[in-house]
């Protein structure tokens, strides 16, 4: 498969006129071919025009047709074969097993959404039949379903070249909702993006959908993305990345004549609470297991455990000692981009410069140019509560252990936390009461609360919430992973007294679409 | 019942220090006692402090306990008796029957939400049981429910002193979700607000809930409201009113360190499409019936039909002639406030000054100081498409008929419309194909599409959508009327691998709460 370095706009591949972007192999600093000439306003204009034109047809595609399309995208991605894995490895520095797993997750996610589309729960059908005899006023027939918002702009993430990029979770859930998608590829992995983008193009063609259902644009810098978010035909935005990047898009979307929702998954330090009984029973084992989660993928996960909280004492000492040893032995892994490695180094230097965080251990420096040297630091709860800087996310394999005087101080630290994607309890049976005291604090601050696991590893399923209060995300009412992600791209419409011939199929008498319905407030079998 | 003119903060009645606000009887310009000394930052601070303290307990109140509280609020409002209706009439100029109906709707709404709370659909419970044998990776146990966002600020509306004010739809749905509420009373009906606020206070006490579940503040101007929206303990905002007022709150909420959702229901002109067969068969009857909807409540409804669209010809002429006659015969009704009457007069003057809208008829001038003189105007589609001003909402009983050359021009006018709360089709059997052509355009622009009815009159039920794309509302993904309004104040939380003893009741094995659950993506009977 030969990469062409072109923008994929509808069914076309177009050479843009901007400065060339090259991927760089972060393991070697080698520049990778081809060049991708950056797109600009003409490409945004054309992609949005096609997306808008496709919207009318695509949003009313049948459930089975749309499900088949999502499955076809998965098939086409698998059909790329090993070329996708190899290009992904070269562009991201991620190992083969990780990218193979990520491909499986990406295709599994597309197939999950295919089944979600078929099941039709997302339509949230509600019927309130007419009550012509009701006094003093009759009730007219009222029916509700959800419809697609419109074309969606999706921004590829640096840290998931497949699962949160061109055909990742945002794209899959938007397409499932009936929204055409215009993706801005992440500049760090343009070749991987082109391969996946071509696969989606082929799926659109095979399913005979309007070409504007999907486009893929390339650019460095923020200009093209901002133009995309400002385009009147874009009706929602999906983004995974930094707090700065996410809030910039949020501001642009809010400043439009017609503001639109932005689903930005931004920053989280994913606190882990070590409860007393668990610490006493298995402080050392927890320390070792913790570093496995901390250093996974060079710590480049939104759910990386960047903060550990426990009460001072033998158990916590054992945890810190074991974790420190494990960090010293954690092989340095190449980070995704030179920029991410620079930011990581600065973040760690900031911890050191604060004079409030004591260095427990650093990992080996590693050999490549952008290897992530893991780190473990300790601070007192007092300092943590006082210094805002200690709460900032350091994206990479560094974590801070906060030592508390007692369980009351643990609570104060919990209350002090910003919004998070996850919160973790390490607990034994004897910790149940302590956990009960923390849970209400944690569920108010996090999208997912777990016991005796580690936050890395996000299951793609129906009950998952990969979201949380600001600044973890820009919209705590949603999730970007799992089937509920489809709701981000839908809005309700009520149909009053419409003749059967005019009603959408899911709302007609006799339930011809066979979907779950709420009739007079009661769930129909 | 003696009105005291005090701020209701938790269980207390407090005299504030600001300038006095007096209600004015718009029918007579008579100043009504008592004075309400305006609140300011100290009252906001205290109300938010109590709301935050109450949140922890109230959000986890049992479903039955919370439902009983909502029913108790309804009982206490009914127990006020005729004093509420009389004060409401004096403060709003609305007739007795309307206010009695609105009281019924308000209490019915509270009881609907009581049953919604009991049914537990709003929890959106999802379970994905553990799959320990799954390869290559086992799945851990994952469970999801929705929890309350936090204390909510509600702004009373001028045009519904009961149903969209102190204990109206926003308050009822926020309380149902488990959110304490701080209401800013509308300055036009402080006495009505105090009566209802006292009723809610009594219900809080009777149900032995924490006092901070409800507070009611008074102020003229925007300062107190802005302070309320900026308070870090407020987590969402409900508002019904003007586009200017709604967007000001939206901007304040977005500028917070932690942005929060604002549900502002703002402006809508509610287009009515007269399809050819219906016009030919019953142009005159439609004209007469239309004016019934137009002049209802002096046109002071968000769903007032301010725009009528049809193809030029005999049928439309008959409609306009009949509507014009009906407008001439429509008795002038007192408007809610002097300010609303001024804005109405300016809006009508603006139509005249545009030179693009021909006056067909004006109603009688009326006798009181702030009577609404109804109006009917006609403009060409060409002018309508060209002049933004013709699309502005004139809040009151004036409507504009847009004459189109043909059905294609009708479509262009439809495509040109901003977001709306409603869109109406007047159609006969022979209009089905024409309606099919319009429906996709209308459902993209409106929250509710109806056939052969009029937009005024919003049923409080499960399938209702009182919402729509911007600027009809600030968030098209929601409704402010009907049971789905509860979703505005909730967010999902996922619980991973939690022991049974730590799980919320609705998520425990065996479904002890008896709520509808999605298990592995399938609806459990």
Tell whether A12 lies on the interface with B, counting CB pairs under 8 A: no
Tell whether B152 lies on the interface with A, counting CB pairs under 8 A: no
Element (H, E) at A416: helix A407-416
| pLDDT at residue A525 in the model | 61
Residues listed for chain A: 525
Q: Using alpha carbons, select from A84, A214, A226, A109 the residue that is nearest to residue A161.
A: A84
Q: Which residues 335-394 in chain B show a CB within 8 A of chain A?
A: none
Q: Which of A43, A71, A194, A265 is catalytic?
A: A265
Distance separating alpha carbons of residues B474 and B249, to the nearest angstrom: 10
Answer whether B153's CB lies under 8 Å from B234's CB: yes
Torsion of CA A477, A437, A304, A176, to 10 degrees: -20
Q: What value, to the nearest 5°, has the Cα angle with vertex B153 and ends B151 and B156?
A: 145
Answer whether B499's CB lies under 8 Å from B141's CB: no
CA A331 from centroid of its chain's CA atoms: 27
Here the tokens at position B396 are: 């009151």
**B436·A502 Cβ contact <8 A:** yes
Q: What is the DSSP letter of B123?
A: G
List, in sequence order, the alpha helices (H) in A426-525.
432-443
Partners of A379 in the β-ladder: A402
Tell me the shortest Cα–Cα distance from B181 to chain A, in angstroms.
Answer: 17
Inform me whether the pLDDT recorded for B525 exceeds 80.
no
Tell whether A428 lies on the interface with B, counting CB pairs under 8 A: no
Q: How confident is the model at residue B459 (pLDDT cuts 50, 70, 90)?
A: very high
Answer whether A467's CB lies under 8 Å from A478's CB: yes
Tell whether B197 lies on the interface with A, counting CB pairs under 8 A: no
**A502·B463 Cβ contact <8 A:** no
Mutate to test the interface with A, among B388, B452, B477 (most CBs of A within 10 A): B477
Using DSSP's 3-state secondary structure scheme, residue A442 falls into helix
**B493·A443 Cβ contact <8 A:** yes
Distance separating alpha carbons of residues B144 and B518, to the nearest angstrom: 10
Q: Give whole-number Cα distances, A75 to A78, A80, A309, B241, B310, in Å.
A: 5, 9, 44, 51, 49
Domains and CATH numbers, chain B: 8-266+477-488 (3.40.605.10), 271-451 (3.40.309.10)
Distance separating alpha carbons of residues B488 and B78, to the nearest angstrom: 27
Tens digit of each residue's pLDDT, chain A (525 residues): 799 999 999 999 999 999 999 999 999 999 999 999 999 999 999 999 999 999 999 999 999 999 999 999 999 999 999 999 999 999 999 999 999 999 999 999 999 999 999 999 999 999 999 999 998 889 999 999 999 999 999 999 999 999 999 999 999 999 999 999 999 999 999 999 999 999 999 999 999 999 999 999 999 989 999 999 999 999 999 999 999 999 999 999 999 999 999 999 998 999 999 999 999 999 999 999 999 999 999 999 999 999 999 999 999 999 999 999 999 999 999 999 999 999 999 999 999 998 999 999 999 998 889 999 999 999 999 999 999 889 899 999 999 999 999 999 999 999 999 999 999 999 999 999 999 999 999 999 999 999 999 999 999 999 999 999 999 999 999 999 999 999 999 999 999 999 999 999 999 999 999 999 999 999 886
Answer whether B357's CB lies under 8 Å from B351's CB: yes
Answer whether A401's CB lies under 8 Å from A321's CB: no
**B476·A453 Cβ contact <8 A:** no
What tens digit of pLDDT does each residue of B319-362 get? 999 999 999 999 999 999 999 999 999 999 999 998 999 999 99
Q: Which of B48, B107, B302, B404 is catalytic?
A: B302
Tell me the shortest Cα–Cα distance from A171 to chain B, in angstroms.
Answer: 19
Query: Which of A119, A453, A465 lies nearest to residue B492, judging by beta carbons?
Result: A465
Q: Which residue of B has its CA nearest to A431?
A: B502
| pLDDT at residue A523 in the model | 86
| pLDDT at residue A123 in the model | 97
**B126·A449 Cβ contact <8 A:** no
Answer whether A10's CB lies under 8 Å from A215's CB: yes
Query: Which of A115, A479, A491 lies nearest to residue B492, judging by beta carbons?
Result: A479
Answer whether B482's CB lies under 8 Å from B463's CB: yes
Distance separating alpha carbons of residues A278 and B207, to the nearest angstrom: 40
Distance separating alpha carbons of residues A182 and A225, to the nearest angstrom: 10
Q: Which residue of A has its CA nearest to B521?
A: A462
What tens digit of pLDDT does each residue of B273-309 get? 999 999 999 999 999 999 999 999 999 999 999 999 9
Q: Per-residue DSSP letters for A127-163?
A: EE--BTT-SSSPBPPEEEEEEE---EEEE--SS-TTT
What tens digit of pLDDT does each residue of B138-155 get? 999 999 999 999 999 999
Distance separating alpha carbons of residues B205 and B199, to the nearest angstrom: 10
Tell me the shortest Cα–Cα distance from B14 to chain A, in angstroms.
Answer: 31
Q: Residue range B93-120: average pLDDT? A: 97
- B404 catalytic residue (yes or no): no
Answer whether A47's CB lies under 8 Å from A11's CB: no
Here the tokens at position A279 are: 């610490």
Partners of B407 in the β-ladder: none
Here the tokens at position B388 are: 């933004």
Q: Which residue of A has its CA nearest to B253?
A: A254
Query: Which of A116, A470, A483 lies nearest to residue B258, judging by beta carbons?
Result: A470
Tell whether B523 lies on the interface with A, counting CB pairs under 8 A: yes
Q: Which residues 453-482 in chain A show a CB within 8 A of chain B?
A: 453, 457, 459, 461-465, 467, 469-471, 474-479
Distance separating alpha carbons of residues B23 and B32, to the nearest angstrom: 5
Distance separating alpha carbons of residues A92 and A108, to the nearest angstrom: 22
B96-119 helix and B82-92 helix, angle to the nearest 10 degrees: 120
Q: Per-residue DSSP letters for A95-137?
A: -HHHHHHHHHHHHHHHHHHHHHHHH-GGG-EEEE--BTT-SSS
Q: For B216-251, what is the HEC assignment?
A: EECCCCCHHHHHHHHCCCCCEEEEECCHHHHHHHHH
Distance separating alpha carbons of residues B156 and B165, to the nearest angstrom: 4
| pLDDT at residue A524 in the model | 83
The burial class, CB within 10 Å (0-12 / 13-18 / 19+), for A321 is middle
Using DSSP's 3-state secondary structure scheme, residue B494 falls into strand
List, in sequence order, the alpha helices (H) in A207-313.
223-230, 243-254, 276-295
Q: Using alpha carbons, select from A15, A73, A27 the residue that is nearest to residue A213.
A: A73
Distance separating alpha carbons of residues A383 and A55, to the nearest angstrom: 53
Here the tokens at position A102 are: 């990520």
Q: Which residue of B has its CA nearest to A492?
A: B477
Q: Using alpha carbons, select from A208, A207, A147, A197 the residue that is nearest to residue A168.
A: A197
Mutate to test the interface with B, among A449, A477, A500 (most CBs of B within 10 A): A477
Tell me the shortest Cα–Cα distance from A86 to chain B, in angstroms.
Answer: 22
Here the tokens at position A55 are: 């919207």
Distance separating alpha carbons of residues B445 and B400, to the nearest angstrom: 19
Answer whether B166's CB lies under 8 Å from B134's CB: no
Q: Which of B265, B393, B403, B409 is catalytic?
A: B265
Q: How many CA atoms lie within 13 A of B34 on its CB side?
A: 15
Q: Which of A48, A107, A302, A372 is catalytic?
A: A302
Mutate to test the interface with A, among B469, B470, B492, B498 (most CBs of A within 10 A): B492
**B496·A119 Cβ contact <8 A:** no
Q: What value, to the nearest 5°, has the Cα angle with vertex B208 and ends B203 and B209?
A: 80
| pLDDT at residue B366 in the model | 87
Q: What is the DSSP letter of A467?
A: -
Residues of A in contact with B520 (CB under 8 A): 462
Q: State the CB neighbour count (10 A cutoff) for residue A504.
A: 18
CA B402 from centroid of its chain's CA atoms: 27
Phi-psi region of A29 (alpha: psi -120 to 50; beta: other; left: phi over 0): left
Tell whether A408 lies on the interface with B, counting CB pairs under 8 A: no
Q: Which residues 32-61 in chain B show a CB within 8 A of chain A?
A: 56, 60
Mutate to test the interface with B, among A179, A262, A494 (most CBs of B within 10 A): A494
Answer whether B70's CB lies under 8 Å from B77's CB: no
Distance separating alpha carbons of residues B161 and A46, to the nearest angstrom: 49
Q: State the CB neighbour count (10 A cutoff) for residue B494.
A: 30
Query: Which of A128, A259, A462 lies nearest to residue B520, judging by beta carbons?
Result: A462
Tell me the shortest Cα–Cα distance from B5 to chain A, in angstroms.
Answer: 36
Distance separating alpha carbons of residues A119 and B275, to the nearest angstrom: 36
**A461·B518 Cβ contact <8 A:** no
Q: Using alpha carbons, select from B34, B265, B269 the residue that is nearest to residue B160.
A: B265
Mutate to test the interface with A, among B112, B463, B483, B521 (most CBs of A within 10 A): B463
Tell me the shortest Cα–Cα distance from B19 to chain A, in angstroms.
Answer: 35
Here the tokens at position A120 are: 């039709």
Q: Which residues 225-284 in chain B show a CB within 8 A of chain A?
A: 250, 254, 258-259, 261
Answer whether B134's CB lies under 8 Å from B123's CB: no
Q: Which residue of A has its CA nearest to B518?
A: A462
Tell whether B105 lies on the interface with A, counting CB pairs under 8 A: no
Q: Are strands A262-265 and A398-404 parallel, antiparallel or unpaired?
A: unpaired
| pLDDT at residue B368 in the model | 86
| pLDDT at residue A487 in the model | 98
Distance separating alpha carbons of residues A388 and A416, to the nearest angstrom: 10
Here the tokens at position A345 are: 């180094």
Residues of A in contact with B150 (CB under 8 A): 444
Q: Using alpha carbons, select from A414, A324, A427 the residue that is nearest to residue A378.
A: A324
Residues of A in contact with B499 (CB under 8 A): 429, 432, 451
- B265 catalytic residue (yes or no): yes
**B463·A259 Cβ contact <8 A:** no
Q: What value, to the nearest 5°, has the Cα angle with vertex B310 and ends B308 and B313?
A: 130
Strand boundaries in B427-509, DSSP class E = 446-451, 490-496
Distance separating alpha carbons of residues B408 and B403, to the nearest angstrom: 12
Tell me the shortest Cα–Cα distance from B258 to chain A, in angstroms.
Answer: 6
Distance separating alpha carbons of residues A410 and A381, to the nearest angstrom: 8
Q: Which residue of A has its CA nearest to B126?
A: A463
Tell me the shortest Cα–Cα distance from B482 to chain A, in angstroms.
Answer: 11
Q: Using alpha carbons, select from A436, A443, A435 the residue that is nearest to residue A469.
A: A443
A499 — phi, psi (to 5°)? Answer: -60, 150
| pLDDT at residue B395 in the model | 95
Q: Which residue of A has its CA nearest to B499?
A: A451
Here the tokens at position A36 are: 């991708």
Inform me whether the pLDDT recorded for B516 exceeds 80.
yes
Residue appearing with tokens 């092989």: A331
């Amino acid at each position: 498969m030969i990469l062409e370095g072109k923008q994929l706009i509808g069914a076309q591949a177009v050479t843009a006129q901007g400065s060339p972007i090259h991927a760089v192999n972060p393991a070697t600093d080698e520049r990778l071919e081809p060049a991708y000439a950056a797109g600009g306003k003409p490409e945004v204009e054309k992609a949005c025009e096609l997306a808008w034109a496709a919207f009318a047809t695509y949003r009313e595609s049948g459930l089975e047709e749309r499900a088949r399309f999502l499955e076809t995208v998965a098939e086409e991605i698998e059909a790329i074969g090993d070329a996708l894995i190899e290009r992904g490895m070269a562009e991201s520095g991620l190992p083969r097993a990780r990218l193979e797993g990520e491909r499986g997750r990406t295709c599994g996610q597309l197939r999950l959404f295919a089944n979600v589309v078929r099941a039709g729960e997302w339509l949230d059908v509600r019927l309130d039949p007419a009550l012509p005899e009701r006094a003093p006023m009759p009730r007219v027939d009222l029916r509700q379903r959800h419809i697609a918002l419109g074309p969606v702009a999706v921004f590829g993430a640096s840290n998931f070249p497949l699962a949160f990029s061109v055909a990742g979770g945002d794209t899959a859930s938007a397409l499932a909702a009936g929204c055409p998608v215009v993706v801005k590829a992440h500049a760090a992995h343009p070749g991987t993006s082109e391969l996946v983008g071509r696969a989606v193009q082929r799926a659109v063609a095979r399913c005979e959908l309007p070409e504007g259902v999907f486009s893929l644009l390339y650019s460095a810098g923020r200009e093209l993305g901002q133009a995309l978010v400002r385009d009147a035909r874009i009706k929602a935005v999906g983004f995974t990345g930094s707090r700065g990047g996410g809030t910039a898009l949020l501001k642009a979307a809010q400043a439009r004549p017609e503001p639109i929702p932005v689903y930005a998954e931004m920053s989280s330090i994913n606190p882990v609470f070590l409860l007393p009984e668990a610490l006493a029973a298995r402080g050392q084992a927890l320390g070792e297991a913790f570093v496995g989660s901390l250093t996974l993928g060079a710590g480049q996960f939104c759910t990386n455990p960047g903060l550990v909280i426990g009460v001072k004492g033998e158990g916590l000492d054992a945890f810190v000692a074991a974790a420190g040893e494990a960090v010293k032995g954690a092989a340095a892994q190449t980070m995704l981009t030179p920029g991410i490695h620079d930011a990581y180094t600065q973040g760690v230097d900031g911890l050191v410069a604060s004079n409030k965080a004591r260095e427990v251990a650093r990992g080996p420096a590693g050999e490549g140019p952008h290897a992530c040297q893991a780190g473990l630091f300790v601070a007192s709860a007092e300092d943590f509560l006082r210094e805002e800087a200690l709460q900032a996310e350091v994206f990479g394999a560094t974590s801070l252990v906060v030592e508390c005087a007692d369980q009351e101080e643990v609570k104060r630290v919990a209350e002090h936390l910003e919004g998070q994607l996850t919160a973790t309890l390490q607990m034994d049976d004897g910790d149940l009461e302590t956990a009960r005291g923390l849970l209400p604090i944690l569920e108010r601050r996090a999208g997912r609360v777990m016991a005796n696991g580690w936050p890395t590893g996000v299951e793609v399923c129906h009950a998952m919430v990969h979201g949380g209060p600001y600044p973890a995300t820009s919209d705590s009412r949603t999730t970007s992973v799992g089937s509920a992600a489809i709701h981000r791209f839908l809005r309700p419409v009520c149909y009053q007294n419409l003749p059967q011939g005019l009603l959408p199929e899911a709302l007609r008498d006799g339930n011809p679409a066979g979907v779950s319905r709420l009739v007079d407030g009661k769930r129909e079998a």
